[in-house]
Every structure is written in structure tokens, then in C-alpha cells.
Amino acid sequence: MTINVALAGAGAFGIKHLDAIRTIDDVRVVSIVDRTTERAQEVADEYNIGHVTSDLAESLALDEVHAVVLATPTPMHAAQAIACLDAGKHVEVEIPMCDNLADGRRVIEAQQRTGLVAMCGHTRRFNPSHQWVNRRVQAGDFAIQHMDVQTYFFRRTNTNALGQPRSWTDHLLWHHAAHTVDLFAHQVGSPIVDAHVMQGPIHPELGIAMDMSIQLRAESGAICTLALSFNNDGPFGTFFRYIGDTGTYVARYDDLVDGRDEPIDVTDVDVSTNGIELQDREFFSAIREGREPNSSVAQVLPCYEILDRLERQLAR
């Protein structure tokens, strides 16, 4: 059976999902939702998609739609994920699942009530670089002692990954830190028991901190040091240094090197070297197999519980 998909959000990450879905057999995007029908039509024409709308509810009313991928603004994620589930559609919502813990718990309740597949785009679980490290940990060949992570952007206006204007404000804690908080616990296989945060000055126009430092400790004793900045005028992205008992590895998205910057071949880790594609493949496989996916909304909830804990520290 072909899985018919509606994609909501035709921005930078929506396009990444469209490109990924193109490579997956028996999955077809049949509807595009965007804030403006003009943008939706532009993307639909490029990807040969028949239905466009600016209203998610219109796509959810289509009987042919089986599943929805949400790549919409962060403040919409939780409510839209719940709407998809309540409409009888499986849903993959881009990271973050929510921007407050109460909404995240409501998403979990909706998934449990409907029994549908609900997954969050915690892509780092799927990047071949991180999978390679995880397999070494699982095999007992490598124990992580310290994850040192840098998440750096130069973003002093509301722009997306392509430099296009955004209608909403991004956030270091609830979006970018979510990747690392979840990945740390996932990679060490141990819950986070201690968490601390500091932030720099609040931007006078954006109303958010432009710099942040987070420290985590897992029950296993492993620690994580995370630095985040929107002020970094240089190469952007997130760089993960795994320091362990038998080696050091540095992951840059889908690529991996050792501590001396020698490349490590990860082409045989999975069926693709594209983390977004692997994430999408997991979503559609879980639908076909009637199972909980890796990075299900229930699995990632502990990450958002830590983010809530950190946010409350900042509010003191």
C-alpha cells in the first residue's frame, strides 16, 4: 500500500523532507500546506503535488491522506500534532515537539488515546555518525565519558536555515538544545539526573537569549557540556565531540572523524547517509509495521522534562 502524506510547512526543512520522501518507495506526498497558498503552489509545482492549501484542517479532511509531516513554526507543533492525531492521521512533527512541557504531555495523551504513530524529528538519533557511535556503545567497545557540544549560528533576525525571513522567533533552549539533551541520554543509555543552565543577555528586539551554556550529568556518571550561540560569526551548525574510554570522535551532522580529524567511513551504517531520510524511513516503517518508532513522542518526552527544568532555573 502506498502511504499518502500531507506536508505542512514548505520552508527550509519542509523541502528537506520532500527531497527525502522522493527516495522512499511507496510513499507519496499528495498535499502541501503553507502559510500562503502562493508558496504552497510554488513547491507543489516543483514536486508535482496536486493539492495545496493554507489551512491544515483542509488537508486533514482528505480521506486519501494517511500521515502528516509537520515542518511548521515551533509554536504550532503541539497543537497541530494533536489535530493530526484527532483526525486519524499518523504524524511526524519536526523538533521540537512543543515549546512547553504541558503541551508536550498533551501530545502524548493524544497518541495514547488514538494509538496512531506519533514521532518527533530528533534527527541526531538517525544521523549515521551518531548511529556509528551508538553501536560501539551498545557493543561495549566504547563508553562515553563526556559529550562536548557546540551549537553555533549567526542569526540576529528571524531567518531560517536558508536565510529566508521567518514569521516566528527561534529559541536556543526549546529547539536547539533539544537535539543534544535527547541525544546525550540516548547515546549513554542513561537518564539525565542533573542539569544546569546559564544564559547571556536578552536581545532587545527578539526577546530571547542569544547565548546559552548547559551542563548535564547522566545517572551513569557521564557528563555533557553544551554551548549554544546565535552570535557566532563563522561556520554554523552543531558539532559533537564524544570523549570516551577508548577513543574520541567528532560528529558533524552525517559525517564522523576521530580525535585527530581522520575521517571514519559511515556509508555502511544504514541504507542512506542522509539523517532526514533515515528519520522519515523510520516513520513510514513504523506505520507499515504497526509499532512504536525510534524517537516516538513518548520516548523523547524526558528531553522536554529537562528543558522545562532548565527553563524554571532561568526564571528564578
How far apart CA 219 and CA 211 sit, in angstroms, is: 27
Domain with CATH 3.30.360.10 in the chain: 127-269
pLDDT(77) > 90: yes
Peptide bond into 96 cis (omega under 30): yes
Q: Fold for 3-122+276-293, please state it.
A: Rossmann fold (3.40.50)
pLDDT(271) > 90: yes
Share of residues in the chain with pLDDT > 70 (%): 96
Mean pLDDT of 126-147: 98
pLDDT(217) > 80: yes
- Tracing cell 554554523 back to the chain, one arrives at 236
Inter-CA distances, 22 with 9, 25, 63, 164, 287, Å: 17, 8, 22, 24, 18
pLDDT given for residue 161 in this prediction: 61
| Spatial CB neighbours of 89, under 8 Å, sequence gap ≥ 6 | 6, 60, 65, 66, 67, 68, 116
pLDDT(256) > 90: yes
Mean pLDDT of 268-273: 97
Task: State the pLDDT confidence band at 160, using cuts at 50, 70 and 90.
Answer: low
Q: Helices in 115-172 by DSSP H: which ranges? A: 128-138
C-alpha cell recorded at residue 285: 516503517
pLDDT given for residue 236 in this prediction: 81
Mapping DSSP to helix (H, G, I), strand (E, B) and coil, where does residue 109 land? helix
Mean pLDDT of 232-246: 93
Q: Fold for 127-269, please state it.
A: Dihydrodipicolinate Reductase; domain 2 (3.30.360)
Mean pLDDT of 205-232: 95
Domain with CATH 3.40.50.720 in the chain: 3-122+276-293
pLDDT given for residue 52 in this prediction: 98
